[in-house]
Structure formats: structure tokens, C-alpha cells
Amino acid sequence: MKPRGNASLEQYLASNSGAVPRPSGFVQRVAVFVDGHNFRYATYYGLNLRVDFVKLLHWLTNGCFLIRAYYYTGEWDDDGIEAYVRLLGLPEDVREAKRQELLAQRDDDRRFLRFLNRNGYHVVTKPVRVYRDAQGEIHVKANLDIELAIDMLSLADRCDKQILLSGDGDFAPLVKAVASRGVRVVVVSTQHEDAVRRGYRASDLLIDAADEFVRIEDIREFIERR
């Protein structure tokens, strides 16, 4: 069921799960964890949705006490750019153009991350790792699963609820571990057919491990950049 009007996350969850409302005056302590790469794939590539992260944070935490909101992502550094350009095997003139393209992309990424830092998020980055696999394909990867897991577990005793914006099934054991400490865990992602056609689908294991599942398409009108 989609939320109506200016419905908050709490109203969305109550309408979809039949949860008993909290006592009057009770304010939940909430922490938010955004798996940057996975969430971008689900929204921008999967649903053609450009997210307003200020609106998103407000919608997720409205009526709650926000402990902290984290955003995890990889970031190009000079070594990563040089390794990627080298592995492409481009002619020298084309190689320099590609290098400048990546430097410009890094500048854009840094402006975006600075914006997040100044608007309620604690940004956690790690340099991307570039490598060629046995089949000869080039991969660009920055795995921040451990950092995200440590932060979720570290804050578990200080939260009533944690919100994970990811569809990565690798986080299912983590969600179960946090839930075992008495914290309700909400997963925000999508299994919408449009996203599936474009190669994205949130893991059933992750959704089943969570207490609640919020479908991105249901809250699109509240978080979309206009």
C-alpha cells in the first residue's frame, strides 16, 4: 500500500504491517545506513529515479530522533584512475581524454558527497579498487560492507530502529544479528519489474531477514528530486 499525503515512514509501516502504534510521547531513536552504490543502482538505474537525499532523510526520520545517517561509497583516487586508464589499453591521446573524464567525474562525486556531509549524512568512503579478472574483464569495486556492518552493530544498543537502504543479500546475517539485539530493522529497496528488467532486484534473503520492507516505488513522490 502506498503512503498517502505527507505520510511518514511510521505511518507507512503501520498501514502495511498492522503494527500497533507507539504510546503517546514515545520517540524512536533511529539510525540510517545507505549502501551508496546499491541504492543508486536501484533508484537511478533501476527505476529512473533521481533521489533528493534531503527529502529522503526527512521522510525516513520524521517524528523520530535521528542518531546518525551514514552514506557509504567508493571514491576514485589518483592510483585508481591511473590503473583503470592503463588497463583499458587506449592510445596515448585517447588515454589522456579518459583520464580527464575520470578526474571530472571525481570532482562531481566529491561535490555530491560534500553536499551530503552538510545535510545530515556522515559519508564513509574507500578508494575504488581496479583489477582485471581471469576472463579479461575490468572491474571497479570498493567494498564497504565491513564498515557498514561495524557501524550498524556499534549503534544497535543506542537505537530502537535501524533503516538499511540496500538490496544486497550479503547483509541478511547482519540484519538478523542487529534484530537479535531487540532493534527493529527496516530495509528500503525494490523488486519492481522495471528494476528487474534493468538488472536489479533486492534479495529475498535480505527482505525476509528484515522486520519491515519499504518499496522505493511506493515512496517515490516523497523522495524524488524535482
Tell me, yes or no, whether 81 lies in a domain.
no
Residue 4's pLDDT is 60
Residue 5's pLDDT is 60
Residue 17's pLDDT is 55
45-88 pLDDT tens trace: 999 999 999 999 999 999 999 999 999 999 999 999 999 999 99
The pLDDT of 26-31, averaged and rounded, is 92
Tell me, yes or no, whether 149 lies in a domain.
yes
What's the number of domains the chain is made of?
1
User: In this prediction, what percent of the chain has a pLDDT beyond 70?
Assistant: 89
List CB contacts of 133: < 8 A, sequence separation 6 or more: 139
169-226 pLDDT tens trace: 999 999 999 999 999 999 999 999 999 999 999 999 999 999 999 999 999 999 999 8
Structural domain containing residue 175: 11-75+117-223
CATH number at residue 126: 3.40.50.1010
112-162 pLDDT tens trace: 999 999 999 999 999 999 999 988 899 998 999 999 999 999 999 999 999
Q: Is pLDDT above 60 for 18? A: no
Q: Residue 160 and residue 15: Cα distance in Å, rounded?
A: 19
Tell me, yes or no, whether 82 lies in a domain.
no
Tell me, yes or no, whether 110 lies in a domain.
no
Residue 106's pLDDT is 95
